[in-house]
Amino acid sequence: MIIQDETKRIFTLQTCNTTYQMKADQNGLLLHTYYGPKIREGDLSRLIRYADRGFSPNPNEAGNDRTYSLDTLPQEYSGSGAGDFRLPSLELELSDGSHVADLRYTGSQQERGKYALEGLPSFFAPEDQAETLVITLEDAVAQVRVEMLYGVFEDCDLITRAVRITNRGGKPVRLRRAASLCLDFPSAQLDFITFDGGHVKERGLNRTPLRPGIQSVGSIRGISSHQHNPFIMLCEPSADEDHGTCYGAALVYSGNFEAAVERAQFEDARLTLGIHPFHFCWTLEPGEVFTTPEAAMICSPRGFGQMSRQFHRAVREHLLRDVWRDRRKPVLVNSWEAAYFDFDTPKLLRLAREAANLGVELFVLDDGWFGHRDDDSSSLGDWWANEKKLPGGLGALATEINALGMEFGLWIEPEMVSEDSQLYQKHPDWALNPPSRPHTRGRCQLVLDYTRPEVREYVAQALEKLLKTAHISYLKWDMNRALTQVWSAALPSERQGEVYHRYVLGVYDLLERVRAMSPGTLIEGCSGGGGRFDMGMLYYTPQIWCSDNTDAIDRLRIQYGTSFAYPPSTMGAHVSAVPNEQTGRSVPLETRGTVAMSGTFGYEMDLGTLPEEEKNLVRHQIRDYRESYQLIQSGDYYRLSPPSPDGAPTAWLHVSQDRREALLCVVSGQVHAGPPFRCLRLKGLDPEKQYRVTGGEELWPGDVLMEAGFPLPMLREYQSLRLWLKAE
């Protein structure tokens, strides 16, 4: 709900559990007055105090009032060069060479429904499920208008923000920085939580108190990256899963980003989130508009768990648009770890027959099917089947796969090109690279210049032909290197600072076209696993390959960190062979299945090599997954105990919306002699209901399970439990 007091120029955004407020003061400065647990309406600017602070200058409007300074006031969107020395949200380069941005309130507008962003992903909702507030600021001297867009999703506690910047003057203006979110906190007694790692070790949780100065995470790789995720949290030092106030903020974007927090001199704090300023310079000609990516934020007064469940609900209901959002996704087998590049039609059909006999529903052909590709050094860009491997092409193979009762899926990497490809030989300027510089290669490949419409048109036509040649119900859209030599032959020198962002816009444009040409095809995003696991990609691909690391024990940590913002329904997770190719670890098939079933579930192995006992277990896992699919994909998710290096079990719980069913998953760690007895407190159940646990005869009251706990049996190393709880 949006409440406007036009007389006092106060704007209050109310959600189920939180309140957000700002106020335009007597000088037109848009002050941030409050964001936190829900309170009644009122003018919260009374919380702001004024003092004469040395070396904090005063704007002209303040006259001789030395207590009024942009350097000390909490601002809704900070400028630069006008007296606020904290993190700027907006940096302009004007035609006279100055870099001043000084914004003042000029008006507001309230609308039913949720605003949309042209060419950019964003949360959406029917008119009766969201509201929009537009607040307009202006730098009168620069003649730059800033429209602050706020979307309010009351039931999800979600507030979204984006910014439209318009050059209303007669000369070009350059944007050097344009954040999507600025959020000032009155106290810097906060912990900063980020989700970091690298390839095959993505999204590990890191928590640290704010220290004086600026702390930041980000990416300058052209993708959101394996190293740092564009989702962060700030919280009270005492906050945990169930207690304390915490704030989550995500950028709905798939390119370079920066999340920065400054603990300032007077023990306040400022968070900014948006496009990374590295190599960013966007020229706005007179009349032109630049729109920032959307930022999404949720405040939880009751710990991390509530925040995560609200993010999960918001993503499922208001970000995923695919027809597969509400449809059960098929159990798949991917050919990669079973065959790598060494396959032909008979081998693939053998793999598919074995899988079909066990109940697998989708066969995915991974890398190596196109051009003359027998390793990862060739053929990217030549998107037609290698008929030496696949006589009759993809159409013939798909027909045979379909005859087995399975759908057919395909891996593709459409943003890349190999130097030996026909595409590159014909169009070398279609790869990103400055003139006269040698190439920097990643995985023996170059990056196509997606800023250029003709490049996207070529790839779109190639994909359309593929989709018409064979019945392809699933595409795995991969992207296996970061961007380097970021220079486009299609742009003048003064606009090369636009290439990173234009590249991402080009990716979004092509994904939108592919979705339109084949709306029933399920697309899974991938970037060497989780290198582009972000809310921007989820707008186009309803699931993302969580990590190239399929080791079940490592996946516990990866999926744990991912769950803080992203629901299980978006996490690509498969059972692979042991010893695992990444870690060399051997984990029981039951445990590999338990971990993978808390995602989009499939297999990444030659199922025909399994002994009959394990084949029967695969059949059982597939039946279990089908039975529990709705609960896992749309239920509430509770983290019960995190992955731990000391060998304690990792546990999580899926609970139905009506709290009548729950699925408890437990995986033990390393086991040592003389282990303790463990009792696990459950969450989210109905305290007044009685629950029967799988295999047990007695009923357990919900309050007992939550307050006293459920006694775990002694588990062997890396053993798992998967227990149903059903109310009677």
In 3D space, the residue among 118, 90, 103 whose CA is nearest the CA of residue 282 turns out to be: 90
The helix/strand/coil state of 539 is coil
Provide the pLDDT for residue 6. Answer: 87
Dihedral angle at the C-alpha atoms of 479, 480, 482, 483, nearest 10 degrees? -60
> Both tokens of residue 292?
């920032």
Mean pLDDT of all residues in 23-28: 96
The helix/strand/coil state of 283 is strand
CATH assignment, 330-635 = 3.20.20.70
- Give the start-end residues of each E strand in 617-728: 636-641, 650-655, 661-667, 678-680, 690-693, 699-701, 710-712, 720-727
Which of the following is catalytic: 322, 548, 554, 636? 548
pLDDT band at 611 (very low <50, low <70, confident <90, very high): very high
Mean pLDDT of all residues in 675-701: 94
420 is catalytic: no
Provide the pLDDT for residue 646. Answer: 78
**Residues 530 and 555 sit within 8 Å (Cβ to Cβ):** no
What phi and psi, each to the nearest 5 degrees, are found at residue 383?
Answer: -90, 65
Separation CA 346–CA 568 (nearest Å): 35
548 is catalytic: yes
Tell the CATH superfamily of the 641-727 domain.
Answer: Golgi alpha-mannosidase II (2.60.40.1180)
Burial class (CB in 10 A: 0-12, 13-18, 19+), 284: buried
Mean pLDDT of all residues in 453-457: 98
Separation CA 41–CA 10 (nearest Å): 10
Provide the pLDDT for residue 263. Answer: 98
Taking CA atoms, 640 is separated from 398, 533, 652, in Å, by: 43, 24, 5
Separation CA 445–CA 529 (nearest Å): 17
Fold of 2-318: Beta-galactosidase; Chain A, domain 5 (2.70.98)
**What is the distance of C-alpha 525 from the center of its chain?**
11
In 3D space, the residue among 254, 250, 261 whose CA is nearest the CA of residue 211 turns out to be: 261
- Summarised one tens digit per residue, pLDDT across range 286-305 is 999 999 999 999 999 999 99
Say whether pLDDT at 41 is over 80.
Answer: no
Mean pLDDT of all residues in 253-273: 98
Provide the pLDDT for residue 162. Answer: 98
pLDDT band at 209 (very low <50, low <70, confident <90, very high): very high
- Summarised one tens digit per residue, pLDDT across range 118-139 is 999 999 999 999 999 999 999 9
Q: What is the mean pLDDT of the chain?
A: 97
Q: What is the DSSP string of 362-383?
A: EEEE-SS-BTT-SSTTS-TT--
Separation CA 115–CA 137 (nearest Å): 18
pLDDT band at 32 (very low <50, low <70, confident <90, very high): very high
Say whether pLDDT at 48 is over 80.
Answer: yes
Task: Give percent of the chain above pLDDT 90.
Answer: 96
Provide the pLDDT for residue 323. Answer: 87
> Both tokens of residue 426?
């014909």
Separation CA 170–CA 458 (nearest Å): 37
- Summarised one tens digit per residue, pLDDT across range 534-564 is 999 999 999 999 999 999 999 999 999 999 9
Say whether pLDDT at 512 is over 90.
Answer: yes
Dihedral angle at the C-alpha atoms of 568, 594, 242, 313, nearest 10 degrees? 20
Separation CA 706–CA 376 (nearest Å): 51
Say whether pLDDT at 40 is over 90.
Answer: no
Separation CA 402–CA 408 (nearest Å): 7
**Residues 655 and 633 sit within 8 Å (Cβ to Cβ):** no
Q: Where are the domains of the chain?
A: 2-318, 330-635, 641-727
Say whether pLDDT at 81 is over 80.
Answer: yes
Q: Count CB neighbours of 368 within 10 A.
A: 21
Mean pLDDT of all residues in 153-165: 98
Say whether pLDDT at 240 is over 80.
Answer: yes
The residues with which 153 forms a beta bridge, in sequence order, are: 158
Predicted TM-score (pTM) of the model is 0.97
pLDDT band at 100 (very low <50, low <70, confident <90, very high): very high
In this chain, the answer to whether the domains covering 2-318 and 330-635 adopt an identical fold is no
Taking CA atoms, 235 is separated from 186, 207, 260, 274, 390, in Å, by: 13, 10, 15, 20, 55
Which of the following is catalytic: 478, 551, 554, 606? 478
Mean pLDDT of all residues in 652-673: 96
Provide the pLDDT for residue 241. Answer: 98
pLDDT band at 647 (very low <50, low <70, confident <90, very high): confident
